[in-house]
Structure 1
């Protein structure tokens, strides 16, 4: 029986209409990489492929582990995203699904690859501060996806005894890998965000669903 659902935010429960790519473009410009730079297309492709990973980790990779530039770019990314956070909207049915899960006795944790500050801004923009049982970021758990830290931290904080009682849902292969590494029995890829069926199959997802609204139907078969 599933007792905890660990749900990603952007692309899974929250629609941000391309804000990640826009904020990334502004961020790398701050460290000297303009859109006209020959390196820019490859960097943008990396960002698309690593959606779901901790953003500071992405910048470290792109900037050759130059910590000062990575921190500068990450700070610029957070500022650019925050300036437009009001554009974020709920993925249709997400809040109702979360409430239904909680009403059925399933605890819900919302996770993100963003910083705690940005996560709070998104939650405030949507009026979601009290929607879930727990919210987590990579810095609060130790490491970001594809590491299992956020899933396992959610399990510990919510007093769940068995990793098999956990479901993980996200829109990227990184979410899937994190869920599998944590030992969750349901690890679902959702088709409202960055990755598709091919990426989810390659990563080993147990389920692929059209929308977060389909999650309760899956969980009802796990009893």
Structure 2
């Protein structure tokens, strides 16, 4: 285990280490249409805004909040996954500039690296394969691997336990949404940073309680490596 003050860095994927390019909203629109929501009007506008506000949370949880019954929520979730997977193939995905180098630099310095997501295991794995990132992290987690997704602490705490980290105050978390910040704070992480490469701006990230806000994953890696006990 590393002698660094931070032993584990936990990263969100879409918007934090992976460029989103609006794919989440496009996949949501396809899913909402698939379950019969009108394509225009106040209800669709409110639903889109809710998706943006809750970016980073487990997608099935979002759909349960939007639709009246479990069957519709599950149907929407399946349609979302299918649409997102198709967009990965059609549009492609790219890493946030410098992300791969930052993750490798941390690991080379002895810091464990975990990637977490609100997507299903299947979509997570397709993203990792598309990026050729299957071995870039020590651990990758979807909500189903941890119990609950964001904003609960489960993803961060599962990473801590599986990777044998000494204490929560030796963990740093990075994400682009208020849900990521809530997760890191709930887990008791020492650093809970927001990045400006994704869904939410600096004001929202700071209002959510971020300990730091950085331009990108590159600066976060430097922050982790210069943190002292």
Shorter-chain TM-score range: over 0.9
2:72 to 53, 69, 72: 69
Alpha-carbon separation, structure 1, partners of 2:104 and 2:88: 23
Please give the alpha-carbon distance, in whole angstroms, between the structure 2 residues aligned to 1:101 and 1:219: 8
The aligned residue for residue 169 of structure 2 is 164
2:191 alignment counterpart = 186
Q: CA-to-partner distance for each residue in 1:95-154, whole Å, 9 max, x for gaps?
A: 000000000000000000000000000000000000100000111100010000000000
Verify: 1:43 aligned to 2:71, yes or no: no
- How far has the Cα of 1:36 moved from its partner? 2.1
Equivalent residues in 2 for 1:138-153 (5 A)?
138-153=143-158
Deviations 1:53-75 (A, max 9, x none): 110000000003x1000000000
Distance, in Å, in 2 between the alignment partners of 1:220 and 1:80 is 38
* TM-score between the two structures when normalised by the length of structure 2: 0.95
In the other structure, the counterpart of 2:223 is 218
Q: Which runs of 4+ in 1 moved over 4 A?
A: none
Runs of 5+ consecutive residues of structure 2 not aligned to the other structure: none
Aligned ranges 1:46-195 → 2 under 5 Å: 46-64=50-68, 66-86=69-89, 87-195=92-200
1:208 alignment partner, SS class: strand
CA distance in 2, matches of 1:136, 1:62: 25
Q: Distance in 2 between matches of 1:156 and 1:38?
A: 44
Question: How far apart are residue 159 of structure 1 and its match?
Answer: 0.4
Instruction: Output the CA distance in 2 between the equivalents of 1:222 and 1:157.
Output: 23
- Residue 84 of structure 1: how far off its partner (Å): 1.3
Q: CA deviation at 1:219?
A: 1.5
| Counterparts of 2:206 and 2:216, CA distance in 1 | 17
SS of the residue corresponding to residue 220 of structure 1 reads: helix
Unaligned runs of 5+ in 1: none
Aligned to 1:26: 30
Q: Secondary structure at the match of 1:10?
A: coil
Q: Displacement of 1:37 after TM fit? A: 4.3
Shift of 1:202: 1.0
SS of the aligned residue for 1:74 comes to helix
RMSD (CA atoms): 0.8
TM-score, normalised via structure 1 length: 0.98
The number of residues matched between the two structures is 222
